[in-house]
Homo-oligomer: A and B are copies of this chain.
């Protein structure tokens, strides 16, 4: 095993490179100390939720205020920020979840902020108190960024019998299930049972559903099949079900057409205009009472605001999001900023709202961070204006579709832009280095195809 000196030298060189990267990263924030108790004289800013909106607010706050100007506390039920746009790649073995999670402890301590890891149970705007498992947290200003959750439209059977894609455990559970089904199918003789285990059904043609489907195709066709000589290519099926007559609603129509064309070319079964009424054991049932058999069913057909938003007695948009003003504040409770998936910013001219996505959340957080600094100093607030950054949708192996300014294009250039943008957006040098290793391995060697489920 020893003696591969060339390879080892190269690894060591990579190590040196990585070492330099880390040394540049360290000490970026010179000794900002955690502020005093929440009963001090300084205004208390509490950020609820460490998604894109919350993190972006805090990054901007760190740039605009000194630690002695305000006490800043972040509260989240997890002790990490999750880079959700790549969660589907965890499910398809392209990326390890460890490279997509960034520790909030590190994020907060290096910026002089306080972090409380606790589940949030409620919000009382009158008393200015957030109720958590760790106790009451009082605030002067609250940034409400608790995001959204999967919408099962009240159908418990769907929640019980499908995989979601909103959390690390969702994604790793789905990945293990896919691999486990391949292993199981490889040991069985019954062709129907094998086919059932190897049929993967995605419900919902939004961005998550489309990117997951394209990536799953890569996993199955370019990885699994190669390593399972017992299983033939046509035994594995990938299917996408969408209720409307087109995919990627809310995104440039041309991109949706590119996606459909691409999926037709690579043999993904698409069922447009197909409404799902429920999920039985091993089958999706449509409103026309058709049964579509498959053992792995992924539900990405909708999101809804988190339960804390639902419990807030303030004006809501028709989908349940809290309505906010031009400064992203709740009009009736102006010391609460509501951002991201939990909030609806309505365009006064068109009546449209911004979509619940990462780009909107990040921009909302940036303005909110500045406005909090302005509030503390008694300066006038700046209004929020969304700057569309374009759209990028990955469509599987070396393919993507992009809308940048007035131009829509697809292919490998779009794919390269897609990868570069996501790599730069990911938090933490360590995670970026890990993501590069994962992506290179996924493209040139193979994806993760191990099932590390606990033994039964």
Residues of A within 8 A of B (CB): 1-2, 4, 7-8, 10-15, 17-26, 34, 77-80, 96-98, 101-103, 105-106, 109, 114, 116-118, 133-135, 167-169, 173, 179, 183, 186-187, 226-229, 420, 423-425, 429-430, 432-434, 436-437, 439-441, 444-446, 448-455
Contacts of A424 in B (CB 8 A): 1-2, 4, 8
User: Closest approach, in angstroms, between the C-beta of A228 and any C-beta of chain B?
Assistant: 7
With A116-B187, A454-B169 known as contacts, the answer to whether A10 contacts B15 (CB < 8 A) is no
Task: Knowing A169-B455, A449-B79, say if A229 contacts B11 (CB, 8 Å).
Answer: no
- Top-5 shortest CB links A-B: A134-B187, A105-B227, A169-B454, A80-B450, A117-B183
Are B452 and A109 in contact (CB-based, < 8 A)?
no
How far, in whole Å, are A33 and B433 apart by their CA atoms in the complex? 35
Number of this chain's copies in the assembly equals: 2
- List, in ascending order, chain B residues with CB within 8 A of A445's CB: 22, 25-26, 429-430
CB nearest neighbor in B for A446: B106
Q: Are B436's CB and A167's CB within 8 A? A: no
Residues of B within 8 A of A423 (CB): 8, 11
C-alpha gap A103/B226 in the complex (Å): 13
Q: How far is the CA of A102 from the CA of B227 in the complex (A)?
A: 13
Chain B residues with CB under 8 A of A433: 11, 14, 437, 441
- A118 to B118 CA separation, bound complex (whole angstroms): 40
Contact A117 B444 (CB under 8 A): no
- Contact across chains for A167 and B455 when beta carbons are under 8 A apart: yes
Contact pick for A183, options B79, B97, B432, CB 8 Å: B79
Contacts A13-B17, A430-B445 known; list 19 others, CB within 8 Å. A2-B424, A7-B432, A8-B420, A12-B436, A14-B17, A17-B17, A22-B441, A80-B451, A98-B450, A103-B227, A105-B449, A106-B449, A109-B226, A109-B229, A116-B187, A133-B187, A169-B452, A169-B453, A430-B441
Q: A1–B59 Cα gap in the complex (Å)? A: 10
Contact B106 A227 (CB under 8 A): yes
- Within 8 Å CB of A173, what residues of B? 454
Complex: how many Å from CA A453 to CA B441? 26
* Pair B10/A436 contact, Cβ less than 8 Å: no
- The chain B residue sitting closest to A18, CB to CB, is B440
Shortest distance between the CB of A109 and any CB in chain B (Å)? 5
* A426 CB to nearest B CB, Å: 9
| Residues of B close to A444: CB separation below 8 A | 19, 22-23, 26
Which of B10, B20, B434, B446 contacts A434 (CB under 8 A)? Answer: B434
CA A186 to CA B227, docked complex, whole Å? 47
> CB < 8 Å: which of B7, B79, B116, B228 contacts A429?
B7
Q: Report yes or no: A105 in contact with B228, Cβ–Cβ below 8 A.
A: yes
- Complex Cα distance, B80 from A407, in Å, reads 46
10 A-B residue pairings within 8 Å (CB atoms): A1-B425, A7-B432, A8-B420, A14-B17, A22-B444, A78-B450, A109-B229, A169-B453, A434-B437, A437-B437
Q: Which of B14, B229, B448 contacts A98 (CB 8 A)?
A: B448
Q: Which residue of B lies closest to A436 (CB)?
A: B15
Closest beta carbon of chain B to A16's beta carbon, Å? 9
Q: Are B10 and A17 in contact, CB atoms less than 8 angstroms apart?
A: yes
Choose among B14, B453, B455 the residue that contacts A436 (Cβ–Cβ < 8 A): B14
- Do B167 and A440 touch (CB < 8 A)? no
Q: Would you give the shortest CB distance from A198 to chain B, in whole angstroms? A: 15
